[in-house]
Amino acid sequence: MIYGERKVKAPIRWAMVGGGKGSQIGYIHRSAALRDHSFQLVAGAFDLDPERGREFGAGLQVAPERCYADYQTLFAAEAKREDGIQAVSIATPNGTHFAISKAALEAGLHVVCEKPLCFTLAEAEELRALAERRQRMLCVTYGYAGHQMITQARAMIANGELGEIRMVHMQFAHGFHSEAVEQGSPSTRWRVDPRYAGPSYVLGDLATHPLYLSEVMLPQLKIEKLLCARQSFVRSRAPLEDNAYVLMQYCGGVMGHVWASAVNAGSMHGQKIRVIGSRASLEWWDEQPNQLRFEIQGEPARILERGMGYLYPEAREDDRIGGGHPEGLFESWSNLYYRFALAMEACDAGEHDRARALHIPGIEAGVEGVRWVENCVRSADQGAVWVDYR
Ligand code: NAD
C-alpha cells in the first residue's frame, strides 16, 4: 500500500520539455511525477511559444529565470547551476523526441520520453547506445503499465493459471477521429502528418500501448513474423493510417492480433488485451482498469477486483486506497513515475541490477515499440504480406 511517503532519498530535480498549456498529456506527467515527492519541478521549456511557456511555468511555481525559451537553452543553462536539473520529461510531438532525448542524454540527464521514442530503429538504437554509454535511464511513458491488474495478470500467467499460452488479442480502437477533426485541432493535426508523427499514426500512437502490456504480461514471447494491413478511412490522412490490423506469429507457435483504430465510431478508448491459454483466458480493458476478467473453460466467468486479498501480493503493493474505490490512469502513471525515480537513483549509485529489477518501460520497451512499428509499415507497404520480424 502506498501512503504518499517519499521513496527516494531526495527528490530528483526535474524539468519538462513540452506539456504546456493546452497540451493533452502534460498535466498527467506533472501530477504523476510530483505525487509521491519523487521529483521536484524546477525548470522547463514548456511550450513551442516561449512567452506562453514562461507564463505557464510561472503558474506552475517555476522560477521565471528557469522557464527557458527552448530545450537547448534549458540543458545548457541548467548544466551551469550547482542545483541544476537531474532529469527531464519530454512531452512534445513525436518528430522532436529523438533530437531532444539525444541532447538530454548528452547533457548527462535521465530522460522520460513520450512514445513513440523516435521514428526509426536506427535512431532508437543510437539512443540506447548513448544511454548505456552515459549510464543514464531512458524511460518511456507506456502509462497503462502501472495499473495493478496488469501486474496481477503477469503473475497469473507466470504461475500457469491460464495453462499453455495460445493467443494474444490486443486492441486500442477509439472513435474520436472518425471525421477529419484535425482541421480544427492542432493536437490532432500533427498526428496525421508524417513530418511530425513519423511513419505511422495509429500503429505508433495507439497500438504500442497494448503491445507493451503484452510484453509485461508475457515477457517470454518473441515475435517471429507479422502481417499488417493499414487504411486511411479519412482519405486526407494518407499515407498515414487511421486504422490497422496486425497478425503476429510468435516463436513457439503462439498467435497474436492487434487492432488499432481512431475511427471506431462510438468507442471511447477501446483498449483491451485478452490472453488465451489452454485452460483459461484473461481480459483487461482500460475503461475498467480496476477489474480483470478471468474465464476458466467450463466455469462461470470471474471478475477479479483491484485491492482484494485474493490477488498476488505484488498486485497490491501499489494500492493507494482499498478495493472498491476506483483508481485510474493518474494512479497508474504515479506508480510508473515513482519507479522511474527509484531506477534513476539506483543508476546514479551504480546499482544497475537494482534499476533493471524495477518493472518499468525503459529503453528496451522504447526500442521495441519503434521496431514493431517499422516492421508493420514494411509489411503494409508491400501489400500486407508476412515479413520476418527484425
Ligand atoms: P500536444 O500537441 O497536445 O502538445 C504538445 C506540447 O508540446 C505543446 O504544449 C507544445 O507547445 C509543446 N511543444 C511542441 N514542440 C516543442 C518544443 N520543441 N519545445 C518545447 N515545447 C514544445 O501533444 P500531446 O497530445 O500532449 O502529445 C505529446 C506527446 O505525448 C506525443 O508524442 C504523443 O504521442 C504523446 N502522448 C502520449 C500519451 C500516453 O498515453 N503516453 C497520450 C497522449 C499523447
Q: Do the domain assignments include residue 329?
A: no
Per-residue pLDDT of 279-298, as tens digits, reads 999 999 999 999 999 999 99
Q: Say what the pLDDT of residue 140 is.
A: 98
Using DSSP, state whether 66 is helix, strand or coil: helix
Q: Say what the pLDDT of residue 244 is.
A: 98
Q: Is the CB of 208 under 6 A from ligand 1?
A: no
Cα 319 to Cα 327: distance, rounded to the nearest angstrom: 8
Lookup result for grid cell 492480433: 257
Same domain, 24 and 101: yes
Mean pLDDT taken over the chain = 97
Q: Do the domain assignments include residue 45?
A: yes
- Please state the atom number of ligand 1 nearest to the C-alpha of residue 52: 11
Same domain, 219 and 301: yes
Cα dihedral: 285, 21, 340, 6 (round 10):
-100
- Please state the atom number of ligand 1 nearest to the C-alpha of residue 21: 9
Q: Is the CB of 185 under 6 A from ligand 1?
A: no
Q: Do the domain assignments include residue 327?
A: no
Give me the residues paired with residue 205 across strands: none
Q: Is the CB of 24 under 6 A from ligand 1?
A: yes
Q: Is the CB of 96 under 6 A from ligand 1?
A: yes
283 close to 293: Cβ distance less than 8 angstroms: yes
Q: Say what the pLDDT of residue 181 is.
A: 97
Question: In terms of DSSP H, where are the helices of the chain?
Answer: 26-35, 50-59, 71-79, 97-106, 121-134, 148-158, 186-189, 194-197, 202, 208-217, 329-348, 352-357, 363-381
Using DSSP, state whether 87 is helix, strand or coil: strand
The b-or-e profile of 150-183 (16+ CB within 10 A means b, else e) is bbbbbbbbeeeebeebeebbbbbbbbebbebebe
Per-residue pLDDT of 153-172, as tens digits, reads 999 999 999 999 999 999 99
Q: Do the domain assignments include residue 330?
A: no
Which residue CA neighbors atom 40 of ligand 1 most closely? 143
Cα 212 to Cα 324: distance, rounded to the nearest angstrom: 27
Q: Say what the pLDDT of residue 47 is.
A: 98
- Please state the atom number of ligand 1 nearest to the C-alpha of residue 142: 41
Same domain, 238 and 315: yes
Which residue CA neighbors atom 9 of ligand 1 most closely? 20
Q: Is the CB of 205 under 6 A from ligand 1?
A: yes
Q: Is the CB of 45 under 6 A from ligand 1?
A: yes
Q: For residue 19, what are the contacts with CB-CB under 8 A and spacing of at least 6?
A: 25, 26, 27, 29, 30, 46, 89, 91, 92
Cα 43 to Cα 51: distance, rounded to the nearest angstrom: 15
**DSSP-derived pairing of the beta strands 39-45 and 12-18:** parallel
Same domain, 273 and 343: no
To test the ligand 1 pocket, which listed residue (25, 31, 49, 188) has its Cβ within 8 A of the most ligand atoms? 25
Per-residue pLDDT band at 335 (split at 50, 70, 90): very high
Same domain, 71 and 89: yes
Per-residue pLDDT of 99-149, as tens digits, reads 999 999 999 999 999 999 999 999 999 999 999 999 999 999 999 999 999
Q: Is the CB of 368 under 6 A from ligand 1?
A: no
Q: What are phi and psi of 92, to 5 degrees?
A: -120, 170
Per-residue pLDDT of 352-370, as tens digits, reads 999 989 989 999 999 999 9
Give me the residues paired with residue 51 across strands: none
Same domain, 106 and 90: yes
Could you please report the per-residue DSSP string of 135-161? T--EEE--GGGG-HHHHHHHHHHHTTT
Q: Do the domain assignments include residue 326?
A: no
Report angle CA 120, 125, 127 to the nearest 5 degrees.
Answer: 100
Q: Do the domain assignments include residue 218?
A: yes
Q: Do the domain assignments include residue 123?
A: yes
Same domain, 181 and 242: yes
Same domain, 358 and 222: no
Same domain, 352 and 316: no
Same domain, 86 and 205: no
Same domain, 189 and 269: yes
Please tell me the distance between residue 389's alpha carbon and the centre of ligand 1 in angstroms. 29
Per-residue pLDDT of 180-225, as tens digits, reads 999 999 999 999 999 999 999 999 999 999 999 999 999 999 999 9
Check: complex ipTM more than 0.95: yes
Cα 357 to Cα 65: distance, rounded to the nearest angstrom: 38
Q: Say what the pLDDT of residue 297 is.
A: 98
- Please state the atom number of ligand 1 nearest to the C-alpha of residue 24: 26
Lookup result for grid cell 535511464: 137
Q: Is the CB of 89 under 6 A from ligand 1?
A: no
Domain containing 166 — which CATH number?
A: 3.30.360.10
Same domain, 157 and 135: no
Q: Do the domain assignments include residue 188?
A: yes
Q: Is the CB of 174 under 6 A from ligand 1?
A: no
pTM: 0.97
Per-residue pLDDT of 25-77, as tens digits, reads 999 999 999 999 999 999 999 999 999 999 999 999 999 999 999 999 999 99
Using CB atoms within 10 A of its CB, is residue 390 exposed (0-12), middle (13-18) or buried (19+)?
Answer: exposed
Cα 336 to Cα 182: distance, rounded to the nearest angstrom: 31
Cα 289 to Cα 305: distance, rounded to the nearest angstrom: 9
> What is the span of the domain harbouring residue 29?
12-144+335-362
Mean pLDDT of 311-329: 98
Q: Compute CA 323 distance to the chain's CA centroid, rounded to the nearest angstrom.
A: 25
**Sheet architecture: strand order including 110-113:** 39-45, 12-18, 87-91, 110-113, 138-140
Please tell me the distance between residue 188's alpha carbon and the centre of ligand 1 in angstroms. 10
- Please state the atom number of ligand 1 nearest to the C-alpha of residue 144: 40
Per the structure, how many domains does the chain have? 2
